[in-house]
Amino acid sequence: MEADYVIVGAGSAGCAMAYRLGEAGRSVIVIEHGGSDAGPFIQMPAALSYPMNMPAYDWGYMSEPEPHLGGRKLVVPRGKVIGGSSSINGMIYVRGHARDFDHWAEQGAAGWAYADVLPYYKRMEHWHAGLHGGDPDWRGKDGPLHVTRGPRKNPLTRAFVEAGAQAGYELTDDYNGEKQEGFGPFDSTIWRGRRWSAANAYLRPALKRDNVTLVRGLVSKVVIEEGRATGVEMIRRGATEVVRARAEVILAASSINSPKLLMLSGIGPGAHLREHGIEVVADRPGVGRNLQDHLELYIQQAAIKPVSLYRYWNLIGKGVIGAQWLFTRTGLGASNQFESAGFIRSRAGVEYPDIQFHFLPIAVRYDGKVAAEGHGFQAHVGPMRSVSRGEVTLRSADPNDAPRILFNYMSHESDWEDFRTCIRLTREIFAQPAFDEFRGREIQPGADAQSDEALDAFIREHAESAYHPCGTCRMGAADDPTAVVDPECRVIGVEGLRVADSSIFPRITNGNLNAPSIMTGEKAADHILGRRLPASNVEPWVHPEWRTAQR
């Protein structure tokens, strides 16, 4: 088995690269450990809580006990299936704020400023909401990735945006366009009623070409000969095989598995590798470091009218929704139910939003456990730019062993201040007149939790990951000792090896990570092919009074 390019991981970035490299006439082998994405659990948008809890589709990783969250171990779902995490995620499409990418460039990722990445966002998108307002000039019209909006029929979904305006915040018709800040409709990767994953958008069309092949197997290490990556070792049906790359090996195995593979291949912190008996090929202390994520809380409110999705939360209701979706690809099953969004700034002096809201017209947890109270609604809320950093390290030199994942969540006092602010600002929004006809009692944190101490106890017990890990193979200048890849995504210190997925993000972006992960694959493909889309010169909206006003 041999090709010009061997891509490890058929996830968000890997599928995009396979498509673009294949389109350019290169031969590509994509290696994926997971299996098929067929069936309603993945393809039906409303079933999103199922695949991320199913061993068939998820690597099943857990964090180490988190010292600042009372020693809780948090689940770390990562897609083990074609499409990767785009096949098990919430299908929410957020590019990130323009300033996120400008910050990347300032941190040494030259050529990754907003002006550089916007053309790739436009190339990958096929945006369908242009008829309903928004910023068509900022969006793509004919890319492989269909982006749509939910019908927003539920009155709670509309009340949330109205309440944001009543609280004095901006409205935005398109947070992925010129103006992220404010309240408005969510974009999603749903098309014709089904999940539009990277597998549906990129991999299936790529595999129709003779020059792109998908192989199932567990990659155990990169083969490096005289300082150059020449292929990968793969375990398939119990036997070890070598897949050779004539040009390059590209890791797109996730922010958890890409650093693990680098370390198993001898690229990483030298002392740590030697502890596990691994010969050091390139001593890169940044491999596995700089781990970041978004934490969030579910602020839940009871509803006094039966308008929430709770009425369908029974076997008959789910059966009716499922049947309608199976036969027509329409109805509640065709939406992820995240249809209203908010991006706000926590205080004056913050230049661009650092808090995100996901509104849901039911009081329910990600794992599908519903509030006992019955009808209700909730906002998922959390700070976007925590200064806490964790790490991914090897548990052993055995490729079958899960790595050690320590996020080190809430390790700075500013994290606690930010979260308390999130709770209090959410309560203020729920208290607006738009919710008067619906609002019952606060389910959680509960009316008694008012003091800093009470809120901190709630945060410690209830903060959950938003499942946005990134940053563990940080992109930076080639002479930066803590960087892992240069701005061309090339691993520093090894020839013929690149990493392109969310692990290369210097800092986490604003919002959900699927869109920037796919964009990374799109842009990395052009770096590999030695070409570049011309930079954009548009200027994003920033609140004119951000220095002095919070809203």
pLDDT in tens, 22-31: 999 999 999 9
Identify the residue whose tokens are 């890319």. 143
Cα distance between residue 27 and residue 7, in whole Å: 11
Tell me how far the alpha carbon of residue 68 is from its chain's centroid.
Answer: 23
Asked if 234 and 215 touch (Cβ cutoff 8 Å), the reply is yes
Where along the chain do its domains lie? 1-66+78-146+188-288+469-537, 151-185+295-383+410-462
Average of per-residue pLDDT across 317-329: 95
How high is the pLDDT of residue 365?
72
Nearest to 10 by CA among 219, 195, 245, 293: 219
CATH fold of 151-185+295-383+410-462 = Cholesterol Oxidase; domain 2 (3.30.410)
Return the active site residues.
Answer: 468
Arch. (CATH architecture) of 1-66+78-146+188-288+469-537: 3-Layer(bba) Sandwich (3.50)
Asked if 360 and 380 touch (Cβ cutoff 8 Å), the reply is yes
Average of per-residue pLDDT across 180-200: 97
The answer for 193, left when phi > 0, alpha when psi is -120 to 50, beta otherwise, is left
Helix, strand, or coil (residue 515):
helix
Average of per-residue pLDDT across 121-136: 84
Please indicate if the annotation marks 287 as binding a ligand. Answer: no
pLDDT in tens, 270-280: 999 999 999 99
Cα distance between residue 158 and residue 335, in whole Å: 15
Asked if 475 and 505 touch (Cβ cutoff 8 Å), the reply is yes
Please indicate if the annotation marks 212 as binding a ligand. Answer: no
pLDDT in tens, 227-263: 999 999 999 999 999 999 999 999 999 999 999 999 9
Asked if 338 and 190 touch (Cβ cutoff 8 Å), the reply is no
pLDDT in tens, 377-422: 999 999 999 999 999 999 999 999 999 999 999 999 999 999 999 9
Q: Is the pLDDT of residue 134 over 90?
A: no
Cα distance between residue 485 and residue 488, in whole Å: 7
Tell me whether the omega of the peptide bond preceding residue 445 falls within 30 degrees of 0, making it cis: yes
Beta strand spans in 426-501 (E): 439-444, 464-465, 497-499
Mean pLDDT lowest among 60-64, 372-376, 493-497:
372-376
